[in-house]
Structure formats: structure tokens, C-alpha cells
Amino acid sequence: VRWTMMGSHQQRRWTMTGSHQQRRWWHCCTSPNFITCTIIIHCIVFASTAFEQPTCSAQDTSLRDPNLQRHTFDIGYGEEEFDFYVTPDVSTFYQEEAGSKVPVTPKFNGISGKFVNLSPVRVEWYWDPGNGQKGILMATCPPFESVGTATFPTHKFYFTDSDGAILKRFVVVPGRSIYYYDPFEVVGDEQATRRNLELLTLDEYEKYEKHKRTMLFNEKYREITGRDYLPIYPRNKP
């Protein structure tokens, strides 16, 4: 296909010469539908190559946060590894020498509260306003599930059965976010605990065991980081 400019300086126009097949090909390539399809194809190709790139520090070690510390531990399930985020010295946020600044404790002491039901029955979760007042229903917690809220130290909560009988009371303490109701564990008597667990079905026991493993891991997590581990452990890496 060949383009030729014809006409005066004020009235120039372009004419196209070439075979019938060449002209049809040119009109096809310059049609709006063709251009739109071409743009879409380029976008798809670009997106597919972008997805091949690492998306987080768990996949690209060059992006690894220096405050992630890998520790090896055994909480009864064999040797495991985990990357714990340890809060750095506050001075490093200001690019100053470690120890040159002292962190300030905020006046606001609100924390997250997570309350876990380790029983095979649905329970009701109440906030206890104290002073003999009637508890306020917060939520219903299914078997082997949890409920949560923003809360403060000294706040009180409790679980009840469907008849309103109190099963477990909780008092929120500073720095601790997770609280458990476990009707099977007999503290100091492992055999009695095992007999109680034999009442569970296999599916129920697997759910119970998953929460118990999370509880054990949380103690290790608190030991290293000073914080509670709120998700279920173990989690799949991204």
C-alpha cells in the first residue's frame, strides 16, 4: 500500500494506491474493532508477565524485612521454622543510633479481644457491665470458632450455654488478646483430659487440636515478639 499527498498547500489530501487485497487489509487494520482488540491483547500479555514477578518478601529474599527473625522451635509437633517480626528499636525509625530514643506508652490502652470456644456446642457470648447489672449479649459463637471485639483491660465477658448457665468468665488483662473456653482440659490431670477428648468425633477432635496447636504456638510467639498471634496456626505462606 502506498500513500501519496496531492493538492495545494491549503488543500492537501492523501490517496491510497495498491491492489484490492492490500486496501482491504489496510481498512481492516485501521478499524476501531481491530485497534481495540490489539490494545486488549497487549494488556493481557503485560498482566501475565507482571504476575510472574514476586509479589511479597516471602517470595523475594531481596525484599525481606530485616526485622523478620527466623526461629526454629518444637511445640510437640516436630521441629518447625517461622519468621517472627520483632519490633525494632524506635530510634531506627528516625534513622538514629539505636537506644537514642525511648518509646512513649500511649494513654490509649485499647486492645483486640479474641474469645475461642473449644466446645462442640454453640455458646452465647456476653459483656459483663459489672455492679450486678445484667450481661449484654454480644454474639453467638459456633462450636470450635471464635468471636472478638475491641476492648480494654479490666473489661469482663463470659460464655453461657443455651439455658443461660455461665460456662466461663474472662477478665481482659493488659497485653493479652486471646482467651479460651476449654471444657475438656483438666489442669494437672492428663489422663482425665484424654478421657474427655475421647467423647469427640474425629472431625471435632481435629478442630479442637488445631486450636490447641495455635494456643501452644502463641506462647512461643509471645515469648519472642511480646505480642499475641491472632490467626490460626499454621498458615499457608503467600
For residues 34 and 91, give the distance between their C-alpha atoms in angstroms, rounded to a whole number. Answer: 58
pLDDT band at 15 (very low <50, low <70, confident <90, very high): very low
For the chain, give the percent of residues with pLDDT over 70.
Answer: 73
Beta strands 178-181 and 111-117: pairing type? Answer: parallel
Q: Which three cell numbers stand for residue 64?
A: 525481606
For residues 193 and 104, give the distance between their C-alpha atoms in angstroms, rounded to a whole number. Answer: 44
pLDDT (mean) for 121-139: 96
pLDDT for the residue 64: 83
For residues 71 and 224, give the distance between their C-alpha atoms in angstroms, rounded to a whole number. Answer: 9
For residues 11 and 109, give the distance between their C-alpha atoms in angstroms, rounded to a whole number. Answer: 78
| pLDDT tens figures, 58-117 | 556 677 888 999 999 999 999 999 999 999 999 988 989 888 999 998 999 999 999 999
- Residue 25 above 50 pLDDT? no
pLDDT for the residue 4: 46
Return the residue matching grid coordinates 507482571: 50
| Position with higher pLDDT, 154 vs 237 | 154
| pLDDT tens figures, 150-207 | 999 999 999 999 999 999 999 999 999 999 999 999 999 999 999 999 999 999 999 9
Q: Which helix (H) or strand (E) holds 170?
A: strand 166-171
pLDDT for the residue 37: 53
pTM of the model: 0.72
